[in-house]
Amino acid sequence: MTVGAETMSAVDRSRPPILRAGLIWTLVRTDFKARYHGTLGGFVWALLKPMSMFVVLMGVFSFLFASNPTYKLNLIVGLFLWDFFAEGTKSGLTSLHARGYLLTKARVPPWILVVTSISNAVITLAVFSLVIMIFLISAGHPPTGQALAVIVIGFSLGSSVLFLRFRDLNQVWDVVVQAGFFVAPIIYPLGILPERFHFYLYIWPPTPVIEFSRAALVAGVMPTTTGHVYLAADAACCLAAGMLIYRRLSPRAAEHL
């Protein structure tokens, strides 16, 4: 293991485990238990949050977009994907700080703590995917949660190590997420905005994922090759940027706790 400067090194010939399945499972299980008190009833709260938003927004905006027959489905797909994005990035950002007590106790790869921190958001999204699949029998294509998961992991890796240096990053991100909810076309169809603005909205990573999912799930139309490439590139850029920051800053993460 060589970290940073040429003159420093730590050689480890003691079978360092790269992927520790037991640790990953324990982190996911205990995180779920701590958050929902280990009950299924507790987990229902996680689903109720986007569901209640859906009921309120549908009640208000379905009048506005009464002519759009797929508005409700588009809204629910958008809301659950957004909930995954918002919850996943918020948990990921604070993950190393929140689990810092493990980093200073033993040699543990920090990325395991970051990636497992978004497990709760993944579970919620998986349950939603199951439910929406039942409703959308004709859909035929899986949701593009994978691309969003890559974006969330990329963001979490980078922001978790930055948060150890900038402890108000979570507050800044809260503001961004709040504004970002309206930048992404969740409660309104993208079509109501002039086309010249679409490009700017697509820069915000959740937008292409939500639009892609709606096309595949609700409209039953497979997006174009360009759409696939754009989505893959978007996710890859987020992951690469996050990994770059993580690689540079994570070796000294324990020193900032």
Partner 1 sequence: MTLITVDAVSKAFWIPTVRRDTIREHLFGMLQPRRFHRLQALDSVSFEVRDGETLGIMGRNGSGKSTLLKILCGIYPPDRGRVERRAAVTPILDLGVGWNPELDAVDNVFLIGSVMGLSLGEIRRSMDAILGFAELQEFANLKLAHYSSGMSSRLAYAVAFHAVRDVLVLDEIFAVGDAGFRQRCEERYRDLHAQGHTVLLVSHDPRTVTSFCDRALLLDHGRIVMEGPAREIADRYVSTLTKRISD
Question: What region does 165 belong to: left with phi over 0, alpha with psi -120 to 50, or beta?
Answer: alpha
Do residues 178 and 185 touch, judged by C-beta distance below 8 A?
A: no
Min dist. Cβ of residue 12 to partner 1 (A):
5
The reply to whether 176 sits near partner 1 by the rule CB under 8 A is no
Question: Out of 63, 66, 168, 196, which residue is the one contacting partner 1 (CB under 8 A)?
Answer: 168
Q: How far is the CB of 104 from partner 1 (least distance, A)?
A: 6
Candidate residues 39, 104, 146, 224; the one interacting with partner 1 per rule CB under 8 A: 104
Contact 144, 213 (CB under 8 A): yes
The distance of closest approach from Cβ of residue 126 to partner 1 in the complex, given in angstroms and rounded to an integer, is 22
Residues in contact with partner 1, total (CB under 8 A)?
Answer: 42
Give CA–CA dist 208/148, Å, rounded. 9
The residue written with tokens 């697509």 in the block is: 202
Smallest distance from partner 1 to CB 247, Å: 13
Token pair in block for residue 36: 């929902």
Q: CB-wise, 5 or 137, nearer to partner 1?
A: 5
Distances (CA, A) of 83 to 61, 79, 120, 184, 257: 19, 6, 11, 12, 29
| Choice from 48, 126, 172, 240 touching partner 1 (CB under 8 A) | 172
CA 14, CA 19: separation in Å to the nearest integer?
Answer: 15
Chain contacts with partner 1 (rule: CB under 8 A): 1, 3-5, 7-15, 17, 20, 22-23, 25-27, 29-30, 33-34, 101-108, 165-169, 172, 251-252, 254-255
